[in-house]
Structures are given as C-alpha cells and as structure tokens.
Amino acid sequence: MVPRRHTIEMPGKDRSSVDNTAPSETTAPDRRHFLRTLGAGGVASALAVAISASRANASQMSTPNTNAASVGGNAGSAGGSGAGEGSGSNGSNGGQSGATPNSISPDGSDTSIPVTAGGSAATATASTAPAPATTTTIAAPAQPIPADLPLLKFALQYELAIAGTYDAAISRLDDSSLTLDAALVPVVRVFRQHHIAYGQALSGLIGKTAPVSANQVLLKSMVGPFQAGAPADFLTAAAALENTAVATHLSILAKIASTDGATLLASIVPIEARHAIVFELALGSTELIPTTGTENLTLALDPSKYPAE
C-alpha cells in the first residue's frame, strides 16, 4: 500500500518546510501548480478588464463631475467600492483622490493636473499602466482645503452679521417704530431666516472649527440704518446690504478651491440677488438690472479686513 501521506504537520513546525505533496504529484507542472497559475492569471485578467472598462467610461466624457470627480467621490463616501476604491482611501475626501490640496492655487490660476483617463482607478495604477490614449484633468477638491477655510469662515460670520441687522429691523417692526408695507413684514423675517440658514450651511461645510457668532465689526458697520431711520432708509440699506453680499460672495467664489464650497455659495448668491430686487422694487427703483449684464464686484468686502473671530 502506498502511504497517502509522508508526514503530518507538527505543532509549531514551519509550514514552509512541510511536505504537502500529494502522492500523484511527482513532476512539475502539476495540477496544483496549474490551478495556482490559473487563479493568478484570472485575477490579472479581471484587473485588466476592470481598468479597461473604467478607461472606456472616462473616454466618453472627461468632464470632472461625470467621471473623475463623481467616481472618486462616490467611492470615498461609500468607503471605497468598485472602480473608485483604488484611490478612494479617504472616506470623506474620496472626491479629491489624486487631486492634491495644492492643485488649485489660492489665486485661482490654472489648476488642472493632467492624469491618465479613467478617474481615480486609473490614477492608482498610473505608475504601472501603459501610456494613456487620452488625458483629462483631475477635478478640483470637493471638501474645503486649508486655504479655503478663512474665506468660508468669513462668509459664515458675514451671513450671521446680516441676520443680526435684520434682527434690529424686526425689533423695530415689532415695536412699530418701523412701518413697512404689510406684505413686506413677513418677507423681512423670511430673509433673516435665509441668512441664518446660509450661516448654518457654511458651518456644516466648515466643520468643527466653524465660528458660531456674527463678526461684530461687520455687524456694527452695517446695523446703523436698520436701527433707526425712515422706511425708505431701511429699504435702501437692505438693498445695498444684499447687493454687497452678492458681490462679496462672488469675489470669494473666485478664490476658493472646494467645489462643495463653490456650489454652496452659488446657491446663496442668486437668492440674495433676488432679496435685493424685492427691496429695490419696494423703493420703486427702475434701474433693477445692471446694463452690463454682470454683477458689480466693486461692492465686495475684503475678507482680510474682517478676520474670523
């Protein structure tokens, strides 16, 4: 009888020295070797197929939001899955995988970084993959980078200061020292609530280091016409306040790298522009739309003059 096994594994024995050769395995290549090779080959082939598919997707559309950004972002937020898991190692920052925080300069100059097509998956294999057929640019970072934070904190405290000016007007409406058209009274309260919502949204974007109060210097500089004066003075000041907010946010928009921050500011600006129109209509203004078709950025406040408190 042929022994079915020559030795058995010993406690503590080095497995590498154990002879596990089956009786039938006498020459190489044997069945085990074949299976092992087949398995490794399968993995390699599957990886190649995945990379090819990812590259094909990227070649169809290389706009950042549709491939590189969204794939990386989804992978990051989901903790890494599918094609994006190659570089989506940082959960919340998955959207900026491959895009270093320095990829967008503070002055907003050219920020694009040529990489292989295929988004984050291709980025992970860029060092070993053959030369790409096409190139694209990595999307800007989704989350705020350190250079964005002072600007976003300023925007937050600015919004809360604007809400504070409306508080002053609402106090006067409550004690009847300010009289407005009845239709405008609830509108003033709504606009105040909007600005608080903007502050809350910016706070959520900034995170734990977000300021929690209005910038007092800003508040004091703006609140005067809201504390006293005729209704027309209030309307004029409120329109100017909103127009200045529009210009200020647009100036910040030109400087921040974060797409999340940009998207948030871009959702605030048109509504503040509409706020201004409401007050200008109440004033009977006829010059409602800038003839140039663009906003007047010369009204913008300089954030560096109002450091976060």
Partner 1 sequence: MSNMDITPSASSASPARVPAAHGESADGIDRRHLLRLGGFSIAAAVVIAACGSDSIVGTPLSGSAPAIPAAGAGTYGDVTLLRTATSLHYSDIDAIDVAMATAGLDPKIAAFATSYAKTMKAQADFLAQATTAAGGTPYTKPNPRFTSVVITPALALLAVSSSPTTDAARFIESIVSHNAETAQFFVGILNKAPLRSTMMQVGSVHARAAAVLASMITPENIVTDSQVAVAALPAATTPPSTVVVAQVTVPGSVTPTTKASSSPDIPVYQVPSAFGTQSAVQLVLGNKDKLTDDVKRQTLNFETLFLNSFVSDTAT
Per CB under 8 A, contacts with partner 1 among 280-309 are 281, 288-295, 297
With CB under 8 A as the contact rule, the residue among 129, 240, 277, 299 that binds partner 1 is 277
- The contact mask relative to partner 1 for 73-112 (x = CB under 8 A, - = no) is -------------------------------x---xxxxx
Residues 136-155 that bind partner 1 (CB under 8 A): 136-137, 139-140
Give me the DSSP letters along 158-195.
HHHHHHHHHHHHHHHHHTTSS---TTHHHHHHHHHHHH
Which listed residue (152, 211, 275, 301) binds partner 1 by CB under 8 A?
275
* Least distance to partner 1, CB of residue 301, Å: 15
- Count CB atoms within 10 A of the CB of residue 209: 10
Judge contact between 210 and 273, C-beta under 8 A. no
Instruction: List the one residue from 51, 57, 64, 161 that touches partner 1 (CB under 8 A).
Output: 64
Selected binder of partner 1 within 1, 28, 131, 133 (CB under 8 A): 1
Query: What gap in Å lies between CA 74 and CA 58, rounded to an integer?
Result: 15
Encoded one letter per residue, x for contact with partner 1 by CB under 8 A and - for no contact, window 11-50 reads: x--------x-x---------x--xx-xx-xxx-xx--x-
Size of the site for partner 1 (CB under 8 A): 90
Residues 229-268 interacting with partner 1 (rule: CB under 8 A): 246, 250-251, 253-257, 259, 262-263, 265-268
Q: Give yes or no for a cis peptide into 29 (omega within 30° of 0).
A: yes
Site residues for partner 1, 159-198, by CB under 8 A, read 183-184, 186-187, 189-194, 196-197
Tell me if 120 contacts partner 1 by CB under 8 A.
Answer: no
- Spatial distance between the Cα atoms of 96 and 101, rounded to a whole number of angstroms: 8
Burial (CB < 10 A; 0-12, 13-18, 19+), residue 35, is exposed
66, two tokens: 């549709």
Angle ∠(188,194,200) on CA atoms, nearest 5: 145
Tokens encoding 173: 């409406």
Q: How far is CA 80 from the centre of its chain?
A: 18
Sequence-ordered list of residues with C-beta below 8 angstroms from that of 11, at least 6 positions apart, any chain? none
| Min separation Cβ 164 and partner 1, Å | 12
Taking the least distance from each CB to partner 1, the nearer of 127 and 291 is 291
